[in-house]
A and B are shown apart, each in its own frame.
Chain A
Amino acid sequence: MSGPDFSGARLDLRDVTKIYGDVTAVGGVSLSVNPGEFLTLLGPSGSGKTTTLNIIAGFSTASTGEVTMDGEDLAGLPPHRRNIGMVFQQYALFPHMTVAGNVAFPLKQRRMPRHEIRELVQEALDLVRLGDLADRMPAQLSGGQQQRVALARAIVFRPRLLLMDEPLGALDRKLREWLQLEIRRIHQELGITFVYVTHDQDEALVLSDRIAVFNDGGIEQIGSASEVYEHPSTLFVAEFVGESTATHGHVARSGSRACLRAGELELKVDGEPPDGQAAALVVRPERVRVAAPSERPGPEENSVSGVVRRVIYLGLARKLEVEGPGGQMFLAREPAGGHSTFSEGDRVLLLWRVEDAVLLPTGAPANSADRAPAAEAAV
């Protein structure tokens, strides 16, 4: 379905806010989506991602700020004149029309000739691999099929921007994983710009060129999947995307290098953070090596001794929860088929390379009230 004039649109949001009464749903969001890019807005419910999507679609009006598509200001343009495709969580298929009728709907609105409509509908249904179900009613289809019809309907009129609002939220895991791959394939085949909303971090990592992590009405970080995962810029991102262990403490000096002091723990950190800064050291479970207590850490390794409290078998891996000094829980993941034989109650040494952990300022002073107590493991 690629044509010369059928490429992705560029989308820019500048300082967009949305205020309902005293509630700021979206507070000063700025972001740019490149033509043909797959951008995911990721965040917990109530973080402003869906409101942002609705502002782009035109269902909601920004209180301040501007939204432009290819440089054209969208303010005052009603949704039906924006030419933006949208896929909803609950499919929103028209129940009184057949599959083909649903997919033809946007083309009829554009008063296309009948033979052209028939061709485009077939093409769109083939793209989502539902070509032979054209005459069914939506109620006769499974959830996954309905969502693929909704996708065909949203792209058949060749919008240059497609918005998707938690499209896989209502489907079971296996179907979701398969449809994620389908969505990626369709994105690559069409070359149009996708803006995708989800609260599922795995989905965001699989699908996106870039991820914008939303929290509390604002963007915490925007970057590629690996940037967001490997180099989270805030503690929220580190804890929301993937699993991690965060150790809260203060930056101090130990000899020639900086370290994080948290209770009786002293952990080496990279770089030269300012002394006394309240910070958290975040380490991903797969970066943590579980060793026998007798093992000696290398010069560029941190070590924490602890007791295995729980072993969770995940098929592909084993996850260990290890209680360190002061009762803090550390997470470690070992690939399946490894030689580890540690079980619950064993005394172990946790090791990770200094460069594998990220030090994130927690901003607030030592005894900040709005932070969770000293240490926590996000699961």
Chain B
Amino acid sequence: MAPTLVVIPMGFTAANTFQFPPSDWTLDRYSSLFSDPAWFDALKTSVIVAVLVTALATVLGTAAAFGLSRSRFRMKPAISAVLLVPMVVPTVVVAIAIYAIFLKWRFVGTLHGFVLAHTLLALPFVFVPVTASLQTFDRRLERAAASLGAPPLRAFLQVTLPSIRSGVLTGALFAFITSFDELVVSLFLGTATVRTLPVQMYGSVTREIDPTVAAASTVTLLLTTTLLLAVLFRPQREAVL
């Protein structure tokens, strides 16, 4: 944790290089992060992609976990394993595979390309906690809902989902962070015009020495930590009892 914190003062340095601790202080790095189109567009792209990925991966991952928990289908373990592949296989391998396919589909350098690729990576992070929540869920509640007149979809939304919401929320958080921090696949998919913040940061440290990267890091750090804390310390009704 401590080394990460070093970037925070570095984002305020007035020198044109990385300096710790800074000798002079300025807010210039933040103003260039939000005014320099290269940085600001990358930040915007990252946020849009991460939000879309969160929505998509949460819905798909929850649906997959629910469906698999209910089926008595013989291929069930195999399908669960396939869903977990992106978590286990080295990201570079996944990146090359995605790149090869996306080249053919002309998805490279597009917003939907990023969303699709990141969703694939984020799916297992939703699937795992939701599956765990479903294992402790009492299915008789769904029977009760049905006997009281709720059709299956409404029973799911009004009874099942509230009961497994901590798993779904955890999954959504990890989906967001997975997308927002993703570098390897994004390096392949990024172009000069459409790139995410980690790609811009990576380019910035490899090609030039620009302390704006420290400001960008601070923003990333703040965003992810805030989200994490929000999920961890969200008001819990059960805790009141």
Contacts and interface: CB of A to CB of B under 8 A. Distances in A.
A94 B143 CA distance: 11
Interface string A83-110: 1111010101111100000000110011
Interface residues of B, number: 22
A19 interface: no
Given A80-B146, A110-B149, A140 B241 contact: yes
A81 B149 CA distance: 6
B147 A157 contact: no
A78 interface: yes
A83 B149 contact: yes
Interface string B145-181: 1111111101100110011000000000000000000
Contacts of A140: 241
Interface string B39-64: 00000000000000000000000000
B207 interface: no
B148 A157 contact: yes
B140 A105 contact: no
Contacts of A139: 238, 241
Contacts of A84: 147
Nearest to A139: B241
A57 interface: yes
Contacts of B234: none
Contact of B149 (A57, A106, A163): A106
Contacts of A59: 143, 146
Given A88-B144, A140-B241, A157 B138 contact: no
A79 interface: yes
**B interface SS class:** helix
Given A139-B241, A154-B148, A157-B149, A92 B143 contact: yes
A95 B147 contact: no
Given A137-B241, A140-B241, A92 B149 contact: no
Interface in A94-134: 94-96, 105-106, 109-110
Nearest to B237: A96
A100 B158 CA distance: 15
B205 interface: no
A284 interface: no
Contacts of B237: 96, 137
B141 interface: yes
Contacts of A93: 144
Interface in A153-191: 153-154, 157, 163
B57 to A, nearest CB: 24
A351 to B, nearest CB: 52
Nearest to A95: B163
A88 B144 CA distance: 8
A79 B154 contact: no
Given A88-B140, A92-B140, A94-B159, A105 B241 contact: no
Contacts of B159: 94
B163 A79 contact: no
B154 A109 contact: yes
B151 A94 contact: no
Contacts of B138: 90, 92
Contacts of B151: 78, 80
Nearest to A150: B144
A81 B141 CA distance: 17
Given A88-B140, A92-B140, A109-B154, A79 B162 contact: no
A79 B241 contact: no
Nearest to B240: A137
Contact of B147 (A86, A96, A110): A86
Contacts of B140: 88, 90, 92
B150 A105 contact: yes
B143 A78 contact: no
Contacts of A80: 145-152, 155
Contacts of B141: 92, 94
Contacts of A154: 147-148
B241 A86 contact: no
A110 B154 CA distance: 12
Interface string B97-120: 000000000000000000000000
Contacts of A95: 163, 238
Contacts of A137: 237, 241
A153 B148 contact: yes
A109 B163 CA distance: 19
A106 B148 CA distance: 5
Interface in A31-68: 57-59
A287 B199 CA distance: 91
A96 to B, nearest CB: 4
A128 to B, nearest CB: 16
Nearest to A83: B149
Interface of A: 57-59, 78-86, 88, 90, 92-96, 105-106, 109-110, 137, 139-140, 150, 153-154, 157, 163
- Top 10 nearest A-B pairs (CB, nearest first) are A106-B148, A109-B149, A92-B144, A86-B147, A79-B146, A96-B162, A92-B140, A80-B146, A139-B241, A109-B150
Given A86-B144, A163-B147, 17 more contacts: A57-B147, A59-B146, A78-B151, A80-B146, A80-B149, A80-B150, A80-B152, A80-B155, A90-B138, A93-B144, A94-B145, A95-B163, A105-B145, A109-B150, A137-B241, A139-B241, A150-B144
9 contacts: A57-B147, A80-B148, A80-B151, A92-B144, A96-B162, A105-B145, A105-B158, A109-B150, A163-B147
